[in-house]
Amino acid sequence: MNSIPLIHFLIVSTALFFIGVYGFFTRINMITMLMSIELILNSVNINFVAFNKYLHPESNDGLFFSLFIIAIAAAEAAVAIAIIINLYRTHSTIDVEDANEMKL
Amino acid sequence: MNLNLLIILPLLTSLAILFAGSKNTVRMIALAGAAIQLVICGILLIQFNKYSVGLQNGQMIFESSSPWFSSLNINYHIGVDGISIAMILLTAVVVLAGILVSWNVEKMTKEFFMLLTLLSAGAYGFFISLDLFCMFFFLEVAVVPKYLLIGIWGSGKKEYSANKLALMLMGGSALVLVGMLGLYYNSISETTGFNLMALRSQVIPLETQLIFFPFLFIGFGVFTAIFPFHTWVPDGHSSAPTAASMFLAGISMKLGGYGCLRVAAYLMPEAAHYYSAYIVGLAAIAILYGAFATMMQTDLKYMNAYSSVSHCGFVLLGIGMLTPTAINGAVLQMVSHGLMTALFFAAIGMIYERTHTRTVSELGGLLKVMPFISTVFFIAGLCSLGLPGFSGFVAEMTVFVGSWERVEMFYRVSTILACMSIVVTAVYILRASGMSLMGVIKNKKFESLTDATWNEKAAATLLIAGILIIGLSPFLLNDLITPGTKQIMQNVNRIFTLN
Amino acid sequence: MMDASVISFYVISAFLLTFGLMAVTAKKIFRSAIWLLFSLVGIASLYFWMDLQFLAAVQIIVYIGGIVVLIIFSIFLTQDSGSALPRAIKSRKIGAALLSVFGFGIIATLLARTAFVETTTPMDVEMKTIGFKMLSLGGDGYALPFELVSILLLAAMIGCIVIAVKNIPGKP
Amino acid sequence: MSPLILILLLPFLSFVISGLWGRKYLKNLAGILSTTTVLASFVISVTTAYRYFFVDGKVAGKFVAQYPVDFKWLEFTPDLSIHLGILIDPISVMMLLVVTFISLMVHIYSLGYMKGEERYATYYSFLSLFTFSMLGLVVATNIFQTYIFWELVGVSSFLLIGFYYSKPSAVAASKKAFIVTRFADLGFLAGILILSYYSGSLEFKDIIARYTDSSSPHLQAAISSSFLGVSALSWGLVLVFIGGAGKSAMFPLHVWLPDAMEGPTPVSALIHAATMVVAGVYLVARLFPVYAISCPAALHVVAVVGVFSSAFAALIACTQTDIKRVLAYSTMSQIGFMMFALGVSGYGGEAGLGYMASMFHLFTHAIFKALLFLCAGTVIHFVHSNEIKDMGGLKKSLPITHIAFLLACLAISGIPPFSGFFSKEEILTAAYHHDKLIFWVAVVTAGLTSFYMFRLFFSIFYRGEENTHAQSHHGEGTSSMLAPQIILAFGSVLAGLIPFGKFVTSDGVGLEAHTDWNFSLLPIALSSTGILFAIYFFMKDNDKAEVLASKFGSVYISLKRKLYIDEIYEFVTKRIIFNLIAQPAAWFDKNIVDGFINTIGKATQVFSLTTSVWQSGKVQAYSAWLLAGTLVVLIMCLYYLQLL
């Protein structure tokens, strides 16, 4: 399995990261923006794990970081969705462009 | 005599106003504060005369200094000489008169009087500072409340005027700051810092002076309405409430003149000499051109504002000439114009309060219905056109005689041009007073108007008394300020001895 | 030397990237969520491929079972699931695409120029090890972050309830 | 402190008291108060004059100046300082007498004339102010003191002309008077600056001493430095003379004087006939040694301007129909006489005859012209009009005024033995010896004088029937109005007999005036002819005058329109100063200067609006910028680390 070099993992995660970034910039709906963020987080997770596995296999720190990131992502998603739903109830929309009351 | 009192008392007064209950209490506190301040200034004058005997020319007295930001060598350094005392007395008189005139302000009375008092604290602080940074600090203190005074209590296009005034004055003080920092970083020893007295005794290299003198002079000049940075004057004055106009023209414009003299010309005499022709030229333009522009104004406040531009030109002319008499004249003119223009604005305010118009052509025959106010207006006008017996004459003549001592053709011509303004001044003063005070009453509504109330009478009397004291016995003021100007001239003479 | 594991790596990678891309470009929000789900499954399989069974399990349970379901619920609550999403302006799309490609290019170049010192030592990914490490207080233990995360989750839970329950002005 | 200061202080006190409290508390007492103070001043002046001329004025047969009061008022430099003081020398004593005497007469006259006026106390306070200022002017020891009081008389004249402030014409006239004289004062001020700069002093005695001593460095400096080819001394003296010309209504600065007749008539008598308008003559006389010894060219200017104004005014006076305007032009003409008398004079001895004559004429003219004005006041009071055509046949109604007016007319016409004869005679003599052209113009002018004066006289008192509707309820006026007229009438007859040359001469040494009857024949004959012409045209109601006027046609009309000088002034001020200077200045300020400042403000605003677009509040835009920025920074770092 070592036939796959580390760099390939990293390329995949980078690609995923920028796919997420692209989604984050182009999406107007907040839920889809949230999805893009999930993709970004996942690409980071892949990095952590890959570095752990290829460069420092003696410890499991990358793995643990991934675990914690997943936990925190869950919390973040929950809070974000609560906010989105609340916003929907007050504004009947979850488009990010419409949520501009803090401006001006 | 502890000079801190001069700053502390207005601050205490404004604090007391803050906690006062009814509007009447507010007024009484403000009045009492200003009156006590005037008394203190009187005591200061007496003490000064007592202690200054036997001192060297223009030495500062009642000096005290305590560190403020010691890492930057900024000290809270205060002291007075004759010139500062004259300016302080002027401030005290104008403040008291201003408070009396605005007795009937009903809109946010508390805040109004508080701002007025704060403003005066800034002015006092400026005049007693001997540390450049300290001076700058108080200069700013004296600017900010004006913005609010005009913006909230003003009339006409007040927001525009308030913005313009605040921005232009801030711009001016930004230039001042650059100049001050220039002096600070070019002072020879580390410990000199912003100390005026220490800076004066060292010779700043000419190249440095030539760079930083314009910053300081134009910066302060904006306050004194140096051409072409005078346009805040008409707009600001015409929109401001009466008391604020009095402050603006009476005190604020003097901050600039005082700064030009005390900081720019005093510390950098070589540069002052180098730029003298430019200053004189600008001042002569301001004097004559301001006077001609005044002729075309139809609003009384605009008229007086433009005439202030013209009159403040004399201050700059005197400073630019760099002869002891001319500088004396500049100081006299500052005091004189402060009193006279405050009186003018007070009279205009009184008229406006009653007739609700300031347009000359709509007024007429006011002498019949309000003889007191009309007489006050008239006296202010006569002082403005330089009638002997009033302070304006003394000041202008001193400037003229002093200016004439510069023999070069350019200075002579400038002096003659400046002299010509006495005719133009007469034209617009008589035109305005002829149209608004004399003649027949044009508006039936005016016939039932009342004359001045006690507070207005008191304010006018106070200012007229000041004008007459200077006008009838100018030697009092002249003797007070001469040591100070001699001290400034010592520095200036340095150039002539070098050459 | 193309053995099955190598091929499967590329297949998995292609799978997750394709579905990731579809997730961010789909025109309908519900489909977008489903493509996301597939992409996350792909990531989980990548973990499996690396022999990290525990992490893969967590990925599936938390992401796929939790977050994506949550997202789908919220879609149901807020949207007509079948309706098309508002479309972004073309110039913004192009800008975002350019920026992403450009960023990818830089990072990829950088990665390509970096010489990583790889080792072949296998990782100890026994459940037992993970469990001990997670709860041990020693130098390489994760008890403290573990507790912190639990507090965070609690706070998030409370926060969600507070935000969601809050009365809207004007409505009872 | 010498008691002489009371001469000044008493009117000043009266001014302050009536001015501040007169209207409310004093009411009619204000008149009594002012009159009393002026009376006191007059008494002191008389005693001073007696003491000076007969007791202690002479040192070694020569009148010398005394300085009983002198104190430093304002120090410019150790050399230049304004001193306020009292100078006692022959001309100042003479002027003290004239001013206090005429002022007293006018004060008394006004008691009746201004009765019932609402601003009675104000009127008296202004009169007192004027008296104070005029006295301060004549006793000035310092050229700046002169200037100070010069301005003060200007303003009191302004206040009194505009006394009826609800009349627009009065307001305009007061404004005009003040501004025209102010313009002239500008010259005076510049002259002071020049003279004082080179002489190094503002004191009259120093200026005169330094400029008349041909070896003094001051004089050398003043002569050697020049501007536009004229020496500084000449500039200074001519500029000072311009100031004097403005106050004394010399051509072309005379335009204010006829209009100034809008003021109450007693005021015209005091200010615009007897005292203030001769201030210019007095000023030249004060500096006379400098003019005569060091700068005859400037003196020649004085002579030319004087004689021209005199003839010019006499011509216009023949055509005016407003009684006070005729008198105003005659005043201007007579002051012209005084001016050119100074102009043709030399310094000291027989050559100084012109100087003595000028002062003498000033003295006699003050008396008879004040009388003329007071009589005119009575007439106006009686018919309530200034126009000659509303008068006529008043001889019966106003017998005393009639006699007084006649005496004054004879005096001004130079008929012996009335006072005007003696003074005018000496003026003509001096002119004859100095410049024949001036002499001939002056003689003709003297003839014209008697013509227009008697034209006035006959038109008022004889011609036609008395206008019955104007039958006034108060007859010839109160005794307070009549008494001054009678006193002044005696003065007009007798003042000429004073041996004036013994007291007032250019160098202080007495001069024996002698009347050469052979020489006098011509002027007397011309004056008599003038009177005869007046009788022919105006004694009886006829249309001879109109016929004559129509013969002259355009000349008559242009004379009647005062040779269009006013129109020229109007053109210069309205068109040139207002439209070509002031208006562009105001426009420039509003649009260019202020526009420039506003443009800076606008530019800042535009700039900030542009940048504020970036502050969109859109989270995606922000993050995009963040990413882009990060990437850029990253590239920069990489480039710096030479990884790229």
Please provide the DSSP assignment of A68-84 as one string: HHHHHHHHHHHHHHHHH
Please answer whether residues D253 and D566 qualify as being in contact, where contact means their C-beta atoms are separated by less than 8 angstroms.
no
Residue D471 has pLDDT above 80, yes or no: no
Neighbours of chain A (3+ CB pairs under 8 A): C, D
Looking at beta carbons, which residues of chain A come within 8 Å of C160?
A: 78-79, 81-82
Class of domain A6-101 as given by CATH: mainly alpha
SS3 at position B240: coil
Look up tokens 């979850």; give the residue: A94
Looking at beta carbons, which residues of chain C come within 8 Å of A81?
A: 70-71, 73-74, 160
Q: Does D76 touch chain B (CB under 8 A)?
A: yes
Closest CA to D510 of D93, D60, D140, D68: D60
Cβ under 8 Å to A: C residues 96-135: 96-97, 99-101, 103-104, 107-108, 111-112, 116-125, 129-130, 133-134
Which residues face A29 on adjacent strands? A95
Using CB atoms, pick whichever of C17, C85, C159 lies closest to residue A82.
C159
Looking at CA atoms only, how far is residue D622 from chain A in angstroms?
10
Q: Does A102 touch chain D (CB under 8 A)?
A: yes
Report the DSSP pairing between strands D66-75 and D230-231.
Answer: unpaired
Model confidence pLDDT, tens digit, residues B351-405? 888 888 888 888 877 888 888 888 899 899 999 888 888 988 889 989 998 888 8
SS3 at position D222: helix
Phi, psi of B75 (to 5 degrees): -120, 155
Q: How many CB pairs under 8 A join A and D?
A: 17
Using CB atoms, pick whichever of A19, A35, A59 lies closest to residue C33.
A35
Looking at beta carbons, which residues of chain C come within 8 Å of A57?
A: 119, 121-124
Q: Does D468 touch chain A (CB under 8 A)?
A: no
SS3 at position D86: strand
Confidence of residue D474 (pLDDT cuts 50, 70, 90): low
Please answer whether residues C124 and A60 qualify as being in contact, where contact means their C-beta atoms are separated by less than 8 angstroms.
yes
Assign residue D263 a region (left: φ > 0; alpha: ψ between -120 and 50; beta: otherwise): beta
Name the residue of chain B whose CA is nearest to D196's CA: B401
Q: What is the mean pLDDT of residues A43-57?
A: 90
| Percent of residues, chain D, with pLDDT higher than 90 | 4
Looking at CA atoms only, how far is residue B96 from chain D in angstroms?
23
For chain D, the average pLDDT equals: 84
User: What's the rounded Cα separation, in Å, for the pair B174 and B153?
Assistant: 26
Would the CB atoms of A24 and D623 count as touching at under 8 Å? Answer: yes
Look up tokens 């296999």; give the residue: A57
DSSP string of D163-179?
A: TSTTSHHHHHHHHHHHH
What angle is formed at CA C63 by the lines to CA C58 and CA C69, rounded to 5 degrees?
Answer: 135
SS3 at position C89: coil
Phi, psi of B62 (to 5 degrees): 55, 35
What is residue A36's predicted lDDT score, i.e. its pLDDT? 92
What angle is formed at CA C125 by the lines to CA C119 and CA C129, rounded to 5 degrees?
Answer: 125
B248, D385, D429, D437, D469 from D345: Cα distances, Å: 57, 42, 11, 15, 52
Q: Which residues have CB under 8 Å from B264's CB, separation 6+?
A: B179, B213, B216, B217, B220, B272
Residue D492 has pLDDT above 80, yes or no: yes
Model confidence pLDDT, tens digit, residues B211-270? 889 999 999 999 988 888 888 888 888 888 888 888 888 888 899 999 998 888 888 888
Could you tell me the sign of the dihedral formed by the alpha carbons of D23, D28, D33, D39, in that order?
Answer: positive
Cβ under 8 Å to B: D residues 575-594: 578, 581-583, 585-586, 588-589, 593-594
pTM: 0.81
Closest CA to B147 of B176, B114, B115, B175: B115
Q: What share of chain A is helix, strand, coil (3-state, %, to 5)?
A: 80, 0, 20
Model confidence pLDDT, tens digit, residues C49-88? 888 889 999 999 998 888 999 888 888 888 765 667 777 7
Q: Does D554 touch chain A (CB under 8 A)?
A: no
What is residue D472's predicted lDDT score, i.e. its pLDDT? 53
Residue type, B428: Y
SS3 at position D69: strand
User: What's the rounded Cα separation, in Å, for the pair A80 and A88?
Assistant: 12
Residue A104 has pLDDT above 50, yes or no: no
Residue C159 has pLDDT above 80, yes or no: yes
Segments of chain B scoring below 50 in pLDDT: 498-499
Looking at beta carbons, which residues of chain C come within 8 Å of D634?
A: 106
Residue A49 has pLDDT above 50, yes or no: yes
DSSP string of D387-446?
A: BGGG---TTTT-HHHHHHHHHHHHHHHT-TTSHHHHHHHHHHHHHHHH-HHHHHHHHHHH
Looking at beta carbons, which residues of chain D come within 8 Å of A97?
A: 618
Looking at beta carbons, which residues of chain C come within 8 Å of D643?
A: 110, 113
Q: Which residues have CB under 8 Å from C172's CB, separation 6+?
A: none
Residue C40 has pLDDT above 90, yes or no: yes
Domain ranges of chain C: 4-85+117-166, 88-116
Could you tell me the sign of the dihedral formed by the alpha carbons of C73, C78, C80, C81, in that order?
Answer: negative
Please answer whether residues D254 and D353 qualify as being in contact, where contact means their C-beta atoms are separated by less than 8 angstroms.
no
Looking at beta carbons, which residues of chain C come within 8 Å of D638?
A: 106, 110
Chains D and B touch (3+ CB pairs under 8 A): yes
Using CB atoms, pick whichever of A32, A68, A73 lies closest to residue C29.
A32
Q: Does D619 touch chain A (CB under 8 A)?
A: yes
Please answer whether residues B247 and B318 qualify as being in contact, where contact means their C-beta atoms are separated by less than 8 angstroms.
no
Q: Does C94 touch chain D (CB under 8 A)?
A: no
Looking at CA atoms only, how far is residue B271 from chain D in angstroms?
25
Tokens of A13: 């995660």
Which range among D255-259, D302-306, D345-349 shows the weakest confidence by mean pLDDT?
D345-349
Please answer whether residues B192 and B204 qualify as being in contact, where contact means their C-beta atoms are separated by less than 8 angstroms.
no
Please answer whether residues D256 and D180 qualify as being in contact, where contact means their C-beta atoms are separated by less than 8 angstroms.
yes
Residue B314 class from Cβ within 10 Å (0-12 exposed, 13-18 middle, 19+ buried)? buried
User: What's the rounded Cα separation, in Å, for the pair B286 and B486?
Assistant: 27
Residue D57 has pLDDT above 80, yes or no: no
Model confidence pLDDT, tens digit, residues C2-29? 688 888 999 999 999 999 999 998 888 8
Using CB atoms, pick whichever of C92, C96, C103 lies closest to residue D631.
C103
User: What's the rounded Cα separation, in Å, for the pair C15 and C19?
Assistant: 6
Buried b (16+ CB within 10 A) or exposed e, D301-340: bbbbbbbbbbbbbbbbbbbbeebbbbbbbbbbbbbbbbbb
**Range with top average pLDDT, B53-62, B332-341, D375-384, D568-577:** B332-341
Neighbours of chain C (3+ CB pairs under 8 A): A, D
Chains B and A touch (3+ CB pairs under 8 A): no
User: What's the rounded Cα separation, in Å, for the pair B68 and B252?
Assistant: 25
Cα within 13 Å of Cα(D162), Cβ side? 26
Please answer whether residues D178 and B429 qualify as being in contact, where contact means their C-beta atoms are separated by less than 8 angstroms.
no
Residue B260 DSSP label: I
Would the CB atoms of A96 and D627 count as touching at under 8 Å? Answer: no
Model confidence pLDDT, tens digit, residues B10-25? 999 989 988 888 888 8
The helix (run of H) or strand (run of E) holding residue D59 is: strand D58-59
Using CB atoms, pick whichever of A35, A57, A83 lies closest to residue C119.
A57
What is residue C56's predicted lDDT score, i.e. its pLDDT? 92
> 10 Å Cβ neighbour count for D589?
24
Residue B229 DSSP label: S
Closest CA to D172 of D569, D575, D576: D569
Looking at CATH, the fold of the domain delimited by C4-85+117-166 is given as: Four Helix Bundle (Hemerythrin (Met), subunit A) (1.20.120)
What angle is formed at CA C151 by the lines to CA C149 and CA C156, rounded to 5 degrees?
Answer: 90
Would the CB atoms of D635 and C95 count as touching at under 8 Å? Answer: no
Q: Cis omega (within 30 of 0) on the bond before D252?
A: yes
Looking at beta carbons, which residues of chain C come within 8 Å of D624?
A: 95-96, 99
Looking at CA atoms only, how far is residue C15 from chain A in angstroms?
11
What is residue D226's predicted lDDT score, i.e. its pLDDT? 77
Name the residue of chain D whose CA is nearest to A97's CA: D618
Whats the size of chain B, residue-wise? 499
What is residue B499's predicted lDDT score, i.e. its pLDDT? 45
The helix (run of H) or strand (run of E) holding residue D380 is: helix D353-383
End-to-end CA distance of chain D: 100
Q: For the packed helices D143-161 and D168-199, what is the interaxial angle rounded to 10 degrees?
A: 180
Looking at beta carbons, which residues of chain D come within 8 Å of C110?
A: 638, 643
The helix (run of H) or strand (run of E) holding residue D62 is: strand D62-63
Q: Does D620 touch chain A (CB under 8 A)?
A: yes
- The alpha carbon torsion through A19, A22, A24, A26 (nearest 10 deg) reads -140
Using CB atoms, pick whichever of D620, D624, D631 lies closest to residue C106.
D631
Would the CB atoms of D635 and C106 count as touching at under 8 Å? Answer: yes
Domain ranges of chain B: 5-498
What angle is formed at CA C135 by the lines to CA C132 and CA C138, rounded to 5 degrees?
Answer: 85
Select from C50, C98, C154 the residue whose CB has the most chain A CBs within 10 Å, as the one to mutate to test that interface: C50
Closest CA to D267 of D178, D125, D160: D160
Looking at CA atoms only, how far is residue B170 from chain D in angstroms?
13
Would the CB atoms of D586 and B293 count as touching at under 8 Å? Answer: yes
Would the CB atoms of D624 and C113 count as touching at under 8 Å? Answer: no
DSSP H helices in D462-593? 479-494, 517-534, 544-552, 554-560, 565-570, 583-587
DSSP string of B10-79?
A: HHHHHHHHHH--SHHHHHHHHHHHHHHHHHHHHHHHHHHHHHTTTPPTT--EEEEEEEEEGGGTEEEEEE
Please answer whether residues A49 and A66 qualify as being in contact, where contact means their C-beta atoms are separated by less than 8 angstroms.
yes
Would the CB atoms of B402 and D582 count as touching at under 8 Å? Answer: no
